[in-house]
Amino acid sequence: MSLKGSIARATFLRRKTDARLSVQATGNFGLVFPARPMFHPGMKPLACLLLALVVPLHAATPEKGKAELRKLVKLPTLNLSMAFGLSTERGFALTEPKPQKEKKAAALQKRIDREPRNGSLRLELCELLNALGRKTESKAALKMAVELLRKEAEARAGDAAAVAGFARALAESDEQGEAERLLRAAVARSTNEWMLWVTLGDVLSQRATTTLVYGDEGKREPGRDGESFIRAVLQRKPGADEIQRVEELRVESARCFDRAVQLAPKSSEVYLQRAGFKSLNGMLRTLVEELRKPESNVKRTWSAFFNREALKDFQKAAELSPTNYLMIGTAAVLEAFAVMYEQAGPAATLDYEAMTISRLPPAARAVIRDAMTRLENLGEHPDRAIAAGALELLGGLQFIVAQDPEGARKTLRRTVTLDPSRHQAWEILIGVTYTMEKPDLLVAVCAERLKALDNSRNRLLLAKAYDTAGNGAKAKETVESALKATPDDPLLLLASAALQLRTAQTSRESQAAGESLMRVREKIEALPENDRETLVIDAMLLNAIQLGLDDEPEEARKLVRLVLKKDPEHERAQKILAALVF
């Protein structure tokens, strides 16, 4: 795979907690730097998978077609991603990979155990747990945070931090009206507290977004991804009074953030918060404009997140925070995305190659190179956590934007040497190594990853590396060993079925693979929705191959067409269908 081909496209990976930017390499290894989730599978496609295993024989598949089908058997796709955050509630938002969030949540819980009356810690934990999809725990933490912060705000009525913290907790609890009243009273008493102005601006901005979707009812739906939010508004078609209310909220919110910047012009946090508002405000402004057009464009609305006003503030925040590697790296990535959207034109037709260094205009190139230099310098920081985090982001930028896979590989090796626990650094390193088409090196990296953290996913990564290197026997041995430790893992069960199918020469052998697929179906339904998407596609395509080998080509074609209906450009599905057409 050429490097140019590896940066095939970049999209938003949708999650319950935010819209995550990632750039995905495509190929047999299922790499990611980004693939758009093709659909949110429910019972219907899973039921098709089950029914396809029991339908009667219709017609034989020719031997030539069967040979092609065996070549198309692949081990399950594993997405390796580098993510940045955008929120439909707060615009630009810094976000870290799930493992880092889990570590932070665990550390926060330990602090709370030592400081059980600290409401601010509980609110922070609530937000982290929500980002991790642990909704029940998040709600419990929020409930306790509201109680504790209410008492703190009452006891310290003149303390801006106490009032702002309580208002944030109220807003998270869908009490935006009470939060707004509290903050308006607070800024009337203390006009020079930037924290109060930022929090009021944030609450007003949230009210603007919820008004577009629900009217002025004060409801929230945390985690709604960008496109579904935009589509919901365009479908609902808010009335003139509601749009006027949104415009008033946007204007007042802007004044709040501007006042905060006046009060704290050297604060990185203030600029970061205003950047988030400006990105969201750009989207809301464009959304209102789209509502007035006979035909609206979702992509054009979404692209307004990347407006220059917002990006300027984000870069200022990064400038004022010299050791915040996450902010520095995110600012560079957002610059590249902003250029891509600016070049998309009125139709918002995206060319993802536009965000690579050779295509960027000089000004954007200078911004990104400056950020990479800063990250490289931070890679020498005496704090190993800062150094490792900076090098991780530098490696991602070297690969995605600078198109320097060898440089990225060396940087990411330094990262995992400094901190072997950095999950995302390993993910990018494996992805980079795969695109370099050096299978022996890929096996070595995946073996090191497994040594650093032994789990079923990393064992499957090693199995896929062996498979890529043409060593099917070691791939099978690795999968079987992993299944002994975790016999119910759906990815491993799917891998086992794939390896069985690849060598199946008789109907009985392919039926054995079908039985493994039945077990996969049972396990898929227990997974969270976001974890099912790619797995269901892989299972349906493997099921289609199994049906084709079992001389049931018509049923096989039905499954493949289900995949192609959702993603007409799915290359492997197209090839499987071609092998089934005769």
Name the residue range of residue 233's domain: 98-321
Looking at the structure of the chain, the number of domains it has is 1
Instruction: Decide if 77 is inside a domain.
Output: no
pLDDT at 293 > cutoff 90: no
Instruction: Decide if 33 is inside a domain.
Output: no
Q: Are 96 and 422 in contact (CB under 8 A)?
A: no
pLDDT at 169 > cutoff 80: yes
pLDDT at 398 > cutoff 60: yes
Instruction: Decide if 388 is inside a domain.
Output: no
In this prediction, residue 361 has a pLDDT band, given cuts at 50, 70 and 90, of very high
The residue with greater pLDDT, 240 or 213, is 240
Burial category of 347 from C-beta neighbours within 10 Å (exposed 0-12, middle 13-18, buried 19 and up): exposed
Instruction: Decide if 86 is inside a domain.
Output: no
Instruction: Decide if 299 is inside a domain.
Output: yes
In this prediction, residue 116 has a pLDDT band, given cuts at 50, 70 and 90, of very high
Q: Of 222, 199, 204, which Cα lies nearest the Cα of 273?
A: 199
Instruction: Decide if 84 is inside a domain.
Output: no
Least confident of 82-86, 285-289, 499-503, 572-576: 82-86
Instruction: Decide if 397 is inside a domain.
Output: no
User: What pLDDT sits at residue 216?
Assistant: 59
**What is the sign, positive or negative, of the torsion defined by CA atoms of 360, 361, 363, 365?**
positive
pTM of the model: 0.81
Residue-wise pLDDT tens digits, 125-135 = 998 898 888 88
In this prediction, residue 317 has a pLDDT band, given cuts at 50, 70 and 90, of very high
pLDDT at 120 > cutoff 60: yes
* Separation CA 176–CA 476 (nearest Å): 55
In this prediction, residue 467 has a pLDDT band, given cuts at 50, 70 and 90, of very high
pLDDT at 31 > cutoff 70: no
Mean of the per-residue pLDDT values for the chain?
83
Q: Give, in order, the Cα–Cα distances in Å from 73 to each of 77, 171, 253, 475, 548.
A: 12, 50, 54, 14, 12
At 182, which CATH number? 1.25.40.10
